[in-house]
Amino acid sequence: MIYKNIELLNFEEVKTVEGRVGVLLQRIPEKVRLQLRPESQSVYKKAACGEIRFVSDFRPVKITLASYEGDSKVMLYFGDFQAGEYIITKEPIQINIEIPSPKFISRKDFDDSLYPFSVTVCRLIISGNEIHLIDIQGETIRPPKANEVPKLKYLAYGTSITQGINATSSDLTYLKQVAWRLGTDVINLGASGSAYCEKEIADYIASRKDWDFASFCISINMLNQGVSAEEFFHAAEYFIYKVAKSNPTKPIICISLFNAFPDLGYIWPDRKPKATANEYRNVLKRIVDSSKLSNLYYVDGTQLLKSHYGLSQDLLHPSNNGMIEIGENLSNFIKPLLKK
């Protein structure tokens, strides 16, 4: 979306919040958010690989942000080139943006035509919590043009793993790792703790026209929180078929559970699962195989993250190294699909 002459990627609505300055950057429209389960309503107010983008012809820009319900991290890029990082708290912070020395990428003889982004595009990539945009100041600020950003957009739905929990920055999430390897943009609809394949999210994704391929990583949340294999089948089948049938030319990759604690026979504290990880994997594969839809593909999550070595200490969320492994293997799976 375009707001005040800047582009907001992976933010679909700006919303004023009583008692807070600026506007909340929200990942889905309010009318969709309010139809969801309470946990999902909360999580979709939180940033996940969202970007504030603009072009200022390398002139200095000042942007003021605040983060509520916990801190957020902002990574600064010029095009595809990392330039800094910032921690945003609930106390408004002004970021002064200009290219650090040496300013090689702003030279007129620097050729950026080989990269997905023009180096003139300033990108603030945000992960964490409820980010508020308070102010932006600078000369000749404008949104990027179509030829200055990637041509393709990758949309992903899933759990906290998709949202990027435990990756130490947005660029180390498996989504951003896939996007970096394929030269695409990212729309992150991961929902930490609440990826229940909700009908309303399926309908919403099906109606969006701003993505070119998608992945659905579903769903350790449902397994861990006592959803039976049969219940998972019905929810996942509707979710997948709704989106796939509404977008028949767009590849959709259905990712089963990654290697994690259930495969070791462990049970999360105070949980009572009603199925096994392999039962969930078999259900998802059956949904795809029986669909006869040419744009649906199944990939076993244990072939993307091939051991427990790539996990963090909770034996659920991938570490940075695990995210990189998933990103590399998933991008290799997707690449030939895009060529079709």
Kindly report, residue by residue over 297-313, the tens digit of the pLDDT: 999 999 999 999 999 99
* Residue 1 predicted with pLDDT over 80: yes
Indicate if 157 and 300 belong to the same structural domain: yes
Predicted TM-score (pTM) of this structure = 0.96
Residues 103 and 71 in one domain: yes
Q: Residues 319, 177: one domain? A: yes
pLDDT of residue 139: 86
Same-domain check for residues 92 and 19: yes
- Which H/E stretch holds residue 188? strand 185-190
Q: Which long-range contacts (CB under 8 A, 24 or more apart) does 275-283 make?
A: 275/223, 275/227, 275/228, 275/229, 275/232, 277/223, 279/229, 280/219, 280/222, 280/223, 280/229, 280/232, 280/256, 281/256, 281/257, 283/229, 283/232, 283/233, 283/236
Mean pLDDT of the chain: 97
Residue 122, helix vs strand vs coil: strand
Assess whether 240 and 129 both reside in one domain.
Answer: no
Instruction: Please give the pLDDT value at position 318.
Output: 98
115 with 195, same domain: the answer is: no
In this predicted structure, the answer to whether residue 335 has a pLDDT above a threshold of 80 is yes
pLDDT(84) > 80: yes
Q: Kindly report, residue by residue over 19-43, the tens digit of the pLDDT.
A: 999 999 999 999 999 999 999 999 9
Nearest to 50 by CA among 69, 82, 28, 17: 28
313 and 181 co-located in one domain: yes
Q: How many domains does the chain have?
A: 2
Does position 340 have pLDDT exceeding 80, yes or no?
no
- How crowded is residue 140: how many other Cβ atoms within 10 Å of its Cβ? 11
What is the band of 221 on the pLDDT scale with cuts at 50, 70, 90? very high
Task: Supply the pLDDT for residue 302.
Answer: 98
Report the alpha-carbon distance of residue 163 to residue 52 in Å, rounded.
18
Residues 6+ apart with CB under 8 A from 16: 23, 24
- pLDDT tier at 247, thresholds 50, 70, 90: very high
For the CA atoms of 16, 19, 22, 27, what is the dihedral angle to 10 degrees? -50
Cα 310 to Cα 134, 249, 305, distances in angstroms: 38, 34, 7
Same domain membership, residue 306 and residue 165: yes
At 297 the pLDDT is 98
Instruction: Specify whether 204 is located in the same domain as 302.
Output: yes
**Would you state the pLDDT for residue 220?**
97
Name the more confident of 140 and 50.
50
pLDDT, residue 339, reads: 87
Q: What is the pLDDT of residue 189?
A: 98
Q: What is the dihedral of CA 100, 148, 333, 193, to 10 degrees?
A: 70
Check whether residue 144 and residue 159 sit in a common domain. no
Q: Residues 180, 225: one domain?
A: yes
Distance CA 124, CA 101 (A): 19
- pLDDT confidence band for 78 (50 / 70 / 90): very high
pLDDT > 90: percent of the chain: 98
The string of DSSP letters for 265-279 reads T---TT---SS-HHH
Contact 79, 88 (CB under 8 A): no
Mean per-residue pLDDT, 266-290: 97
Tell which of 116, 148, 180 closes a domain.
148
- Residue range(s) defining the domain that contains residue 207: 153-339
What CATH number should be reported for the domain holding residue 51?
A: 2.60.120.260
138 and 247 belong to one structural domain: no
Q: What CATH number does residue 239 fall under?
A: 3.40.50.1110
